[in-house]
Amino acid sequence: MELKRVVVTGLGAITPIGNNVHEYWDGLKNGVSGSDWITHFDAEKFKTRFACEVKHFDPLDYFDRKEIKKYDLFAQFALVAIDEAIVDSGIDLQKIDSNKAGAIWGSGIGGIKTFMDEIKGFEAGDGTPRFSPFYIPKMISDIVAGFVSMKYGFRGPNFGTVSACATSTHALIDAYNYIRLGKANLFVSGGSEAAINEAGMGGFNAMQAISTNNDEYKTASRPLDKTRDGFVMGEGAGALILEEYEHAISRGAKIYCEIAGGGLSADAYHITAPHPEGLGAVLAMNSALEDANMKPEEVEYINIHGTATPRGDIAEMIAIQKVFGEHAYTMNISATKSLTGHLLGATGAAETIACIFALQRGIIPPTINYSHPDPEIDSKLNLTINSAQVREINAALSNTFGFGGHNASIIVKKLPS
């Protein structure tokens, strides 16, 4: 069976550095930090009082009041980004085969704010159960895919993925594979997250995963820097329209790039820590290259997972050098979580979009907040430090790794001219 080709024909995003995909790209290329004091709740007593929140978001700009009651914030972000991607793709919903259009959407945590609010409401009462009828649908992470099917009439494969911080890369690779196998013509895919609340921040503080550098909150997201002390929590959504190549050509679609390959693996090592030698990351990247039928030298840019955890960054850089060898010194490497913070389950989609714009615009987004080299990271690597670099590239790889040892790598490339 000959596998079909898969291309990207629509993009949408809402992030801490831009509320649509073009604002997001402007923030990336200009090195804008999305970190600021938390406004979603009173964080005065928390170890961490800052995060990368989405700015100036009013759900009433996008939904009526009745709709808002049905949607947790993670679903609101998702539906805004998805609508942008659908419009961007130019799809005529009346002309496509809705039975061959699907949605695979991911969220690592789902409606944690809804869960927290409902439990707080119950505990504040007299023990009489008074829960919202929307409580469970708002909380479950698969609900976005269901909303997409209902809104756009898509009857094809429809489900959610969950693999912590690798979630939306898994969603994209699943959609890619279903299209390659002829099970669908197009997919809405990506991920969203909204965990900047008491439960989310308190939980990550308790496991010592996030930065507590309140004195330097604006620059606290500092992947690869020796002084890094954990990731900065982010939120938002990234949405992509994946489409079978001939289907896209037949309708005259604008094509951003081709999905070349995807690789999946597990560390089989630890609940939260990566394998110190990056074994799972090596396997994921090698699998992506094999799937794409590409040589390591053909990848010119890696958007690394790069969360700014002390052990995670080192393990990933070890893995990259194992996979790419001497070619690693000729590549651009950057960690865009230095700008956006860590969007958790949305990060894979958002960073794949960053790779696509790097292909399209010939600009590599930077790793900002870097000033102290880590002697455990090879100083000869081009980490795209503190400002974007102009470079024409033909292929880029995005890494995402999740708690539980889940690893996913995806490769995007330009279409042959």
Residues with a known catalytic role:
165, 305, 342
What is the DSSP code (8-state) at residue 97?
Answer: -
Q: Which of 271, 282, 277, 286 is nearest to 314 (CA)?
A: 277
Tokens read off for 197: 């609340």
DSSP element (H, E) containing 350: helix 347-361
Handedness of CA 127, 128, 132, 138 (dihedral sign): positive
H-helix or E-strand containing 314?
helix 310-324
CA separation for the pair 317, 315 (Å, rounded): 6
- Count the helix, strand and coil residues of the chain and give each as a percent rounded to the nearest 5: 40, 20, 40
- Backbone torsions φ then ψ of 219, nearest 5 degrees: -115, 20
Q: Strand order in 186-193's β-sheet?
A: 158-161, 101-106, 186-193, 236-244, 6-14, 257-266, 406-413, 395-402, 301-303, 332-334
CA-derived radius of gyration, the chain: 20
Select from 5, 7, 2, 3 the least CA-distant residue to 412. 7
For residue 292, the SS3 value is: helix
Q: What is the DSSP letter of 414?
A: P
By the 8 A CB rule, do 14 and 236 touch?
A: yes
Half-sphere exposure of 298 (CA within 13 A, CB side): 16
Rounded CA-CA distance 79/111 in Å is: 14
Quick check: 341 and 221 in contact, CB under 8 A?
yes
